[in-house]
Amino acid sequence: MKFRFNYRSEAIGRYVDVTVVIPTNEYRCDIDFFHGKANPIDRRDSKKIYRPGMKFQTVYLIHGGGDDDTLTYRFTNVEEAAERNHVMLVTPNISNSFGINTRYGVRYMDFVCEELPVVIQTMFPSSPAREDNFIMGYAMGGNAALGMAVNHPENYAACIDMSGGIGMTFCPETLMEELEGDHFKNHFPLFCTSFGPSSEIPGSEFDLRAVTERHLANGVAMPDFTIVLGSEEFIRKRVEGDVEAMQKLGLPLNFILVEGGDHDFRLWNEYAQKALDELLPLKRHAL
């Protein structure tokens, strides 16, 4: 079951759209009236029974730049993968925000990591346990997922970043150079407006190395990380820099370099499904 709802976010300051997938195809009601009367092609006897209070593990799936919360489901088969793996999906519309608390004042990271879980766990059968919650994304959303998991490790058991090579980074010097250079100023000024002055990057929430070092010093448990990168992607060097920095920090990391893969939905469709089928530690049943 997939549907879209809209509510007023206090973190963002406006009404925002959210797409939610709840696996219902393999469940049925145990009601006497239906015995012997169900459609014979419905495989009724093989389905699991709805139980009051049942919960599902939940994956927060973050869309790419220029997309919205619906395009992910139009360009991939991830909804069907969620059904067969008995997991909820939640995709908020984060616009072209990079998933951060922007320097122009709109707090998208607070929206996704602090406000939205309360809304989702109140309105839907989403388990609140950390071990049952995960975050992943592609392109801009991959970087957002990575940054959100690092800044809020208490929320997620695992994170999958597909092609997330623009935005927050474990190499703050790289982000500083990007903000100081002419490319983004001339071609994508929103990037500079969102992250602010380069001098403010070191030690900030955008500096994932510094954030991780603080967590590790305080004994905070970090999520498991998977980074997926196509060998032909224009962001390859930047992502590999993050991978090297994460490895030096000793983070639990699975790096997948997809030979011939590029920055497109052919890669993201394949690995969004593979994430649910194989890469995430899902229980694959209702709780």
What pLDDT score does 161 carry?
98
pLDDT in tens, 56-113: 999 999 999 999 999 999 999 999 999 999 999 999 999 999 999 999 999 999 999 9
21 in Cβ contact with 11 (< 8 Å): no
Domain 2-279 classified CATH 3.40.50.1820?
yes
Give yes or no for a contact between 202 and 169, defined as CB atoms under 8 angstroms apart.
Answer: no
Q: What's the pLDDT score for residue 211?
A: 98
Cα 88–Cα 90–Cα 94 angle in degrees, nearest 5: 170
pTM for the full predicted model = 0.95
Query: What distances in angstroms separate CA 55 from CA 61, 108, 173, 211, one per listed residue?
Result: 18, 26, 43, 32
User: Sign of the CA dihedral 119, 129, 79, 96?
Assistant: positive
- Residue 47 pLDDT: 85
Closest CA to 59 of 187, 144, 157: 157
pLDDT, position 219: 97
Residue 40 has pLDDT above 70, yes or no: no
> How is the chain split into domains, by residue range?
2-279
**Both structure tokens of 7:** 């509510």
Copy the structure tokens of residue 133: 């919650």
281: helix, coil or strand? coil
Say how far apart CA 207 and CA 32 lie, in whole Å: 58
Q: How many CB atoms lie within 10 A of CB 272?
A: 28
pLDDT digits (tens, 9 = 90+) for 134-186: 999 999 999 999 999 999 999 999 999 999 999 999 999 999 999 999 999 99
* HSE toward the beta carbon, residue 94, CA cutoff 13 A: 33
Residue pair 112/94 in contact (Cβ under 8 Å)? The answer is yes
Cβ-proximal residues to 54 (8 Å cutoff; 6+ apart), any chain: 125, 286, 287
Scanning the chain, the segments in alpha helix (DSSP H) are: 71-75, 78-85, 108-110, 116-123, 140-151, 172-180, 182-187, 189-195, 208-217, 236-249, 265-274
Compute the mean pLDDT over every residue in the chain, rounded to the nearest whole number. Answer: 95
User: Cα 128–91–247 angle (5° rounding)?
Assistant: 75
- Give me the DSSP letters along 126-178: B---GGGEEEEEETHHHHHHHHHHHH-TTT-SEEEEES--SSSBS-HHHHHHH
Amino acid identity at 7: Y
Query: What percentage of the chain has pLDDT greater than the value 70?
Result: 95
b/e per residue 122-157 (b: at least 16 CB within 10 A): eeebbbeeeebbbbbbbbbbbbbbbbbbbbbbebbb
Report the pLDDT averaged over residues 202-207: 97
Query: Phi/psi zone of residue 62: left (φ > 0), alpha (ψ -120 to 50 degrees), beta?
Result: beta
Mean pLDDT of 205-213: 98
